[in-house]
Amino acid sequence: MSTSTLIYGLATLGSGIMGLTVRYCFKSKCEDVNLCFGLIKIHRNTSDEIKEDQIEIQNNTPKKEDSIKNMSNIL
């Protein structure tokens, strides 16, 4: 009984660590990310992501509060 609980706990811990690692890689704005002493190497093209963010800011959709105000003006 205790062996299966230990395995379950270690599997949960390992998957949590992997999830945090992947999240770190996607949230990082660095072009080169090295994890685990070079075992995992990721090279990203951040200039395309910056351009995408700028386009998203320029084409900003109306906020929820603005939509509610417009709805109240219609009624």
Tell me the percentage of the chain whose pLDDT exceeds 90: 11
User: How far is Cα 73 from Cα 75, in angstroms, rounded to an integer?
Assistant: 6
List all residues 6 or more positions away from 68 whose beta carbon is below 8 Å from its beta carbon: none
Please say if the pLDDT value at position 62 is more than 90: no
Pair 13, 6: CB distance under 8 Å: no
Of 63 and 29, the one with more pLDDT: 29
For 2-36, what is each residue's pLDDT tens digit? 788 889 999 999 999 988 887 877 777 777 878 77
Supply the DSSP string of 2-68, one letter for each residue: HHHHHHHHHHHHHHHHHHHHHHHHHH---SEEEETTTTEEEE--HHHHHHHHHHHHHTPPPPHHHHH
